[in-house]
Amino acid sequence: MDIFLPNRALFEREALDYAVGGQVYYKMQELGVETRFIGSHNRVTGIPGKTPQEAFLESKRTLVVGVRRSLDFQTCRPSAHYQLPLVTGCTAECEYCYLHTTLGKKPYVRVYVNIDDILKRAGEYMFQRKPEVTVFEGAATSDPLPVEPYTGALKKAVEFFGNAQYGLFRFVTKFTNVDSLLDAAHHGRTTIRFSINNQFIIKSFEHKTPPLHERMAAAAKVAEAGYPLGFIIGPIFYYPGWRQDYEEMFEMLDANLAAPAAGAVSFELITHRFTRRAKSNILEIFPRTKLPMDEKERAFKYGQFGYGKYVYPKEVVDEVKEFFEKKIGEIFPESRILYFV
């Protein structure tokens, strides 16, 4: 499930000037993956697909390897100060994904080979803000774990921040291939979070992702290795039976997460929302989707990046917030809820 084997790997020629680029290239050749060169990782053509669904699925199976030229980092509220751009895109096929807004209908998976340049730039951001601690998010527009066996970028970042006096690192994943990170010298400065949901939502909308019990087992490994641990529960859906389904999820989490990991765990809670552009793309890619996207049942608000989104009305949000705060307080009394949106 966690080993991403692409159908094709597309390389900028300059990527082979970097050790990571050569490493990925030879691994693709060894695995028999079709490889070819492209002019720019920002302008990828030739991904097959006669329908929007086919184009989407083929994009998900396309690995693009390039050099990150812009070293200006985007901000990343509310979870961090800046994004750390190691990977763009995700191998999962979640129907609700917010990347349907930003990456469009051909969300190929892109990795950057100039990792040292990216980390050096992170150091400059830390220097500018010291003595304040600067927090970097490694999964703002991606799930970086499925490609980690090819790049080793996460482990490199973890060890970089392990020695960074004024920086902290965090990333979130739905995947479970964490073993290569367990012996990293993280020194408690990287928080690994797992994106979880109840089993009905995972089965209905989170295609090509590990089941809930496997994510929880990976979380237990990470906690045992001494990493600060967190969970993103999202998107939270409101539907008949939602309380029972989320109660079952919390019971599973309680059973799988041994103390003392449960004490220090953090939670980020995100209710379901969608943009008009995302809805249009989702309906093309998943024409039979059962995602609740009736605009008449939602409230409209503007997000931090200037585009509007449809969210649950205030009375629903208040009910959901009360439930989650109560359940988390009961089961994980020493935990922290970082935010609820």
pLDDT at residue 235 tops 50:
yes
- Rounded to an integer, the average pLDDT of 177-191 is 97
* pLDDT tens, residue by residue, 39-92: 887 778 788 888 989 989 999 999 999 999 999 999 998 789 999 999 999 999
> Is residue 336 within 8 Å of residue 267, measured between CB atoms?
yes
Question: Residue 2's pLDDT is what?
Answer: 57
- Taking residue 290's Cβ as centre, other Cβ atoms within 10 Å add up to 10
Tokens standing for 335? Answer: 């935990």
Three-state SS annotation for 255-275: HHCCCCHHHHCEEEEEECCEC
Helices (H) and strands (E) in the chain, counts: 12, 17
Reported confidence tier of residue 232, pLDDT bands at 50, 70, 90: very high
**Alpha carbon distance 193, 145 (integer Å):** 11
Least confident residue range of 244-253, 316-325, 329-338: 329-338
pTM: 0.93
8-340 domain in CATH 3.80.30.30?
Answer: yes
Tokens standing for 241? Answer: 């039976």
Domain boundaries, the chain: 8-340
- Taking residue 194's Cβ as centre, other Cβ atoms within 10 Å add up to 24
Strands 299-302 vs 308-311: parallel, antiparallel or unpaired: antiparallel
For all residues of the chain together, what is the average pLDDT?
93
* pLDDT tens, residue by residue, 91-145: 999 999 977 766 666 789 999 999 999 999 999 999 999 999 999 999 999 999 9
pLDDT at residue 262 tops 60:
no
